[in-house]
Amino acid sequence: MKAVVLCITGGLASGLALPSFAMDRVDSGEAVITENNQNIRIQSEAQPNHLTGRFPNSGNPHAIERVQVDVQVAANPGKTNRATAVRVAGVALNGILFEPGTAECFGQGRGSAGSQSKPSKHQHGKGKPHRHGPRPTGPAGCEWSEEAQLDGRTRLGLDQNQAHVQPGGLYHYHGIPDGLINTAANTGDLVWVGYAADGHRLLYSRSGKFQSSYSLKTGQRDGGPGGAYTGLYTQDWVYQAGAGDLDPCNGTTIDGEYVYLMTKDFPYLPRCVYGTVDASFNQRR
């Protein structure tokens, strides 16, 4: 079947169907989205359609460049009972990628295990899934991965959209992109922001109706940086079923449709998915 263009520069066409429940959607900006019976393809040059912070800055030395983004997701995504860790959580309707984790790793390449060395200099890289759960750690072999947010404050040069820039110039989101959400025309509670890497929709609740089920661990870290659990590291957090509204991948079912939610608290974005991730999300950029 020949692909049909559903949205082009300047906004989404009405052909991109909404589910049965009430939901607004953000502007597609310069992204082009095409769909056939099997896949939805999102193409862009990773240029945000909203104001950004200043780059380079003291925490992020890279400038925003035009970088080709070309990913696709399943048009009719399935859901299994097995979570798969992801480095790239999905893509916004404006063609900007979501990457919740970082490549900051305690002690990476610095002396023996358990040393009190400082985290490595920020540089994004391809990570591996954590062996003890669905959340990725960051760089290969990293046991203690730094988070881009701490106690509601951004780190690593993130701007007001919880975004910053990779060494190659790719602007990408680490959390809730306020500037993008503000492009939604209406003021309803649920906003459709993009697609998760498995094709299920990625939403944001303006009221914070859906709460994450992750909690900060108590006590002292066993090895690594030591000290009390503060939330600085991904491994400081633990999923507790029933503690919130969402499953381990920050997902839930609304009116029969399985969706993922962005949250203001950890994990902010899905760190895993329950569907099949297309190979296009594993390409280095």
Under 8 Å between Cβ of 43 and 211: no
What is the Cα 234 distance to its own chain's centre?
Answer: 14
pTM summary value:
0.85
H-helix or E-strand spanning residue 181: helix 178-181
> Rounded CA gap, 173 and 193, in Å?
12
Looking at residue 1, its pLDDT comes to 33
Domain positions in the chain are 1-285
Looking at residue 11, its pLDDT comes to 40
Q: In the prediction, which pLDDT does 108 show?
A: 66
Q: What pLDDT score was predicted for residue 20?
A: 64
55: which residues sit within 8 A by CB, 6+ positions away? 62, 63, 64, 157, 159, 164, 165, 171
Q: Which of 20, 15, 23, 24 is nearest to 75 (CA)?
A: 15
Mean pLDDT by 10 residues, the chain (285 residues): 38 48 91 96 97 96 97 96 95 97 74 34 36 46 88 90 95 97 92 97 96 97 94 96 97 96 97 96 75
